[in-house]
Structure 1
């Protein structure tokens, strides 16, 4: 694994120019008991979808076919289950697309205990919304599609439905950036998987926040299946279509898939720094800014 290169320069403004509270509020809301763990095809899941759609509208995202909701169905344990993906976009200066994704479903209620999924993956949805807010005020080069996927916990069903019936031609999708479990780490370590398969993406992985250790790895097929995350998140559906991906996440922790994955147990400072760093990587790719170009320009300026 390779530690991120840290570039000296002006740091990102503190947590999206003071929008930290909005970021934390989204996670706190979606991981509250009222949503009953957001399991696909439950009332709590539908309530979570309504909350996210409301946030999409407030941010100013556009919808495809006059609706942010994209329904799909799949078979699970001999039953047909209906899910709903939530898709919005910001038109860029060109048609090429970056899909920024996170899943909003979780495990629901098991044996009377609510599995709220604050880290998994309310944190990813919070990060997705924060990134959308930034680009709603700063027009991107690429068209940015923001996908809140359903039924990830049931086999990446929402992401599979997206690539099977995409709202834009898959040939236009140049990159998937997937956020799943980005708020719970005590060592300041955020992993980004994908560069083993797509080494051309390594040049974009530099950040100015020295308090985040951006580590590559967990994407080598020679590792054990538990250590190779290539197909363990929604990015796997994009990879199956040969679309490059960068997956941001933390390693498993004591609250993973436990009723204790609550808002109170996420690492809030780490989370804010992680989302700021992910935003910076998105901006690097969107603007075609690689570490090689930065160093070259510095030499020219001297």
Structure 2
């Protein structure tokens, strides 16, 4: 259940993270909403919510939180950053009530400078993670801020992925305003050619504007997301997406830009922080 959610969010995040800027420097803020429609996933999440709110589990989490002050336990966690991050996330989930409300991000924030970008989630089960894309080196990293670790997201080596799916991009005459910019609606449908393929059918409504200069969205078509076995097909879209509605069997997601702010950002913001250790990429 959580694996499906992770893949859904990773796909959405990378679809935005790999936007290349030409001369844009500043920040972009997004809000995110998700509705789970898959009955099995919804039941699992409701069960997790009930379990997390159980007084006995709440008491255990409080005990675990108190134990964090024990010098010996603290030393053990410092030697295992990933375990420390997992425990901290469990404690935060318990404090927030757990379940669906604790798992879904409220939004995400991007910092962009030229071809470099870093994206962080606002809340949810990935709140401690950031995606750092170094366009000058063509390398993408996953940063765990709580565990102080990083991993390199590999490029897909599956050159036949495009042969496994049907992709249809339709430009419509429908428009809407987002932050005062006129956006045109594109409908993107991705379906596996073989129903036995472990690939998720997906429909996206992408609202893009050509009124923002300095950001090259078409470069996104050349990017691929690690091991998700999904290519990103946006070469037929003109402009910068400001709103995305995504429909998948697991649920529906809406992403909306709420602020675009041009400002100077230090180059050091796009470096891996000192003291971070490299670890293997988590397998989803």
Confirm or deny a common fold (TM above 0.5).
no
Q: Which has the larger radius of gyration?
A: 2
Shorter-chain TM-score tier: under 0.3
Q: Give the helix-richer structure, 1 or 2.
A: 1
Q: TM-score, normalised by structure 1?
A: 0.25
Q: Give the strand-richer structure, 1 or 2.
A: 2
Q: TM-score, normalised by structure 2?
A: 0.26
